[in-house]
Structure 1
Amino acid sequence: MFRAVSRRIIRCNPFENTKYEKEKKKIRFLQKSDVMKLMAMRINDREAELARLMFVFSCFTGMAIADMESLEYSHIQTAADGRKYIRKERQKTKVEFIVPLHPIAEAIISHSRNAQARNKEQQTVKEKGDSLVFQPHCSRSVMGKNLCIVGKACGIRQRLSYHVACHTFGTMSLSAGIPIESIAKMIGHASISSTQIYAQVTDNKISEDMDRLIAKQSAKEKETMEREVYEPNSANSL
C-alpha cells in the first residue's frame, strides 16, 4: 500500500490511521492433576529423570530453564524465621526475583545435593560447576525431547516445555490466592502487566467452571421436571 502511494497509483493509504488489535497471547499450562502425575513418575534414564525434576521444580518456583541451569546453592538463602528462599537475577529481564521454597522444590534441591555428593565420592578430581544445583549433561534441545517423552509416559496430552512449567506456577499461585504483585516479584517480571495474563487465564477458568456447574444444575432440574411429568404422585393420579 505504501509502495502504491509512493508511485502515485493511489493518493493516500486508506488504512493509514487504522488501529490493529494485537491478538491476545494464549498461554499453556498444566492442571494440578497433571502436575501430580509428573511428581509420581520415576524415570530410569538419568537425563530424562533430570528433565522431569527440573520441570516439577519450575512448576513450584516459576523459574525459566536458563535460570535453573545457572542456579547455584549460594542463591538459596535462609530467612530469619528459618524458611528458605531463592534470591537471583533473572537472565531474561535482569530483574531480581525472590521466591520462597515450596517443600517440593526444597526436596528436589536436597535430592540433587545428595546425588552430587554420591558422585563426588567416586571422583578423584573436582569438576567445574559443582556449585550448580542442576547439572544436565546434554543440550537444551535434548532436554526438551526428554521432557516430551516424560509427558507421554505420564499420559499427559499437552506437549511439555519449560515455558509451560513457568505458566503453571503463575496460574497455580494466582488460584491459591497469592496477590499478583507477589507473583510478579517471584517470577521476576519487570512490570505487573506481564503477570496480568495469569489473571485472565484464571478468570476464564472460573467462567468455564461456572458454565459447567450451571449446565449440570440445568440437567438435574430438567431430569426432575421430566420425572414429575411422567411419574405423577399418588395424590394427582386419583
Structure 2
Amino acid sequence: SDRNLREFVENKGVQDISIGTITEDLFEEYRFFLKKRGLKASTVNSNLCWLSRLMFRAVSKRIIRCNPFENAKFEKEEKKIRFLQKSDVMKLMAMKMNDKEAELARLMFVFSCFTGLAISDMENLEYKHIQTAADGQMYIRKERQKTKVEFIVPLHTIAEAIISHCRKEQERSEEHLTVKEKDDHLVFHRNCSRSVMDTKLSIVGKACGIRQRLSFHMARHTFGTMSLSAGIPIESIAKMMGHASISSTQVYAQVTDKKISEDMDRLIAKQSAKEKETSEREACESSDIVTCKMEEPA
C-alpha cells in the first residue's frame, strides 16, 4: 500500500502532497491509478482503506479537521457464489448416511436446495410455519431470522417428503407429546452444535464424491440458481428467499447468464470441432478418389 501510494505521488510529478490540500478528488485519482494497474477490486479497496486510515490518524492527531475520504465510494466487488449442479444434488438425495448427525445434515442441505431456507431458518422452522393453501399446495410462511423479512415458499414434493420423514421420526421417539406440542415443535431436531453439523456436512459431500466443500449457504444459492434456470421470475424468487430487495436476487441472474454463455461457447466449440472433423474426412475421401482415378489404367 505504501509503495503504491509513493508511485502514485511520483506519477503526479511531485515529491510530496501536503495533507491539508488533500480532497476527495485525490481519492478518485488514486482509485483510477490502481485500477489502471489491473488490480482486483478487493486489492484496490485494501489500498484505499489504508489511505483512508491515514486520514483518520491525521484527524485523531488534530493535523486536519475531518477525513476528506469519509463519504468516498469504494470499488464494488464482484460477489461470487458457490452452488451445486443438479447432478450433485441428485447424488446427495440418493446417499443415505448411517451416522445420525450426518444424515440430518444431508436432509437439511437437500431441504434447503428445494426451499432456499438459510441454516438459521431451518433451525427455527416449526410445524406451525407449514400451511396448506385452498388448492392443497403446502407452503412455508415465516420471517427470516436474519432480516425479519417474511418469506413464502411453496413446498416441492421432495421438501414435503423430508418434512413427513422428520415428523414420523419424531413421533416414533416422542409419543408422549400432545398434538398441540407437536404442532409447535421444531421440524429439524439437532443435538449437536452448528460447527459439528458443518463438519458432518463436509463428510456427506466427500461420501457423495462432490469436489466442492459443502456449506448450508451453498444449498440456498443452489435453490436460487435452480429456480431461475427453471424459468421462475426473479421477483418470485426474491419473495421466496425473503430478500429485502431484488438487488440481492440479481446475483443469480448474473450467474445463470454467465453459465448460459459458457454452455453456448462449449456448444459452438464442439460444433466447430465436429465440422472441422467432417471437412477433413471429406477432404481425405476426395483425395483418395483422385488417387484411385490417377492409378486407373488408360
Give 2:166's match in structure 1, choosing from 112, 116, 119.
112
> Taking structure 1 as reference, are residues 129 and 161 closer, same or farther at Cα in structure 2, changes over 3 Å only?
farther
Give yes or no for contact 1:129–1:135 (8 Å, CA) kept in 2: no
Alignment pair present for 1:185 and 2:242: no
Aligned partners of 2:195, 2:148: CA distance in 1, in Å? Answer: 24
Give 2:254's match in structure 1, choosing from 200, 203, 216.
200
Larger relative helix fraction: 2
**TM-score normalised by structure 1 residue count:** 0.90
Aligned partners of 2:85, 2:267: CA distance in 1, in Å? Answer: 18
Aligned residues with identical type, % of pairs: 74
Aligned partners of 1:211, 1:10: CA distance in 2, in Å? Answer: 53
Identify the residue that residue 222 of structure 1 maps to in structure 2.
Answer: 276
Identify the residue that residue 78 of structure 1 maps to in structure 2.
Answer: 132
| Deviation per residue, 1:89-123 (Å, 9 max, x gap) | 00111100000000000000000000000101489
> Which residue identity lines up with residue 8 of structure 1 in the other structure?
S
Give 1:47's match in structure 2, choosing from 90, 101, 107.
101
Following superposition of structure 1 onto structure 2, how do residues 84-233 of structure 1 map, counting pairs within 5 Å? 84-121=138-175, 131-232=185-286
Identify the residue that residue 16 of structure 1 maps to in structure 2.
Answer: 27
> Which residue identity lines up with residue 214 of structure 1 in the other structure?
I
Aligned partners of 1:57, 1:17: CA distance in 2, in Å? Answer: 46
| Deviation per residue, 1:29-58 (Å, 9 max, x gap) | 000000000000010110110000000000
Higher relative contact order (CA 8 A, sep 6+): 1
> Which residue identity lines up with residue 179 of structure 1 in the other structure?
P
> Which residue identity lines up with residue 26 of structure 2 in the other structure?
F
> Taking structure 1 as reference, are residues 177 and 8 closer, same or farther at Cα in structure 2, changes over 3 Å only?
same
> Which residue identity lines up with residue 218 of structure 1 in the other structure?
S
Size of the aligned set, in residue pairs, is 232
Aligned partners of 2:146, 2:106: CA distance in 1, in Å? Answer: 23
- CA shift for structure 1 position 8: 3.5
Identify the residue that residue 35 of structure 1 maps to in structure 2.
Answer: 89
Describe the SS at the equivalent of 2:239.
helix
**C-alpha RMSD of the superposition:** 2.4
Describe the SS at the equivalent of 2:151.
strand
Describe the SS at the equivalent of 2:213.
coil
Aligned partners of 2:94, 2:279: CA distance in 1, in Å? Answer: 45
Whose Rg is larger?
A: 2
- CA shift for structure 1 position 193: 0.5
Aligned partners of 2:203, 2:82: CA distance in 1, in Å? Answer: 18
Identify the residue that residue 67 of structure 2 maps to in structure 1.
Answer: none
Identify the residue that residue 110 of structure 2 maps to in structure 1.
Answer: 56
> Which residue identity lines up with residue 209 of structure 1 in the other structure?
D
- CA shift for structure 1 position 11: 3.9
Structure 1 unmatched runs, 5+ = none
Describe the SS at the equivalent of 2:131.
strand
Aligned partners of 1:236, 1:70: CA distance in 2, in Å? Answer: 78
Structure 1 window deviating more from structure 2 (222-231 vs 55-64): it is 222-231
Aligned partners of 1:146, 1:122: CA distance in 2, in Å? Answer: 30
Structure 2 unmatched runs, 5+ = 10-16, 32-73, 294-298
Aligned partners of 1:217, 1:157: CA distance in 2, in Å? Answer: 29
Identify the residue that residue 60 of structure 2 maps to in structure 1.
Answer: none
Give yes or no for contact 2:139–2:152 (8 Å, CA) kept in 1: yes
Structure 1 window deviating more from structure 2 (128-137 vs 25-34): it is 128-137
Give yes or no for contact 1:148–1:159 (8 Å, CA) kept in 2: yes
Aligned partners of 1:17, 1:195: CA distance in 2, in Å? Answer: 30
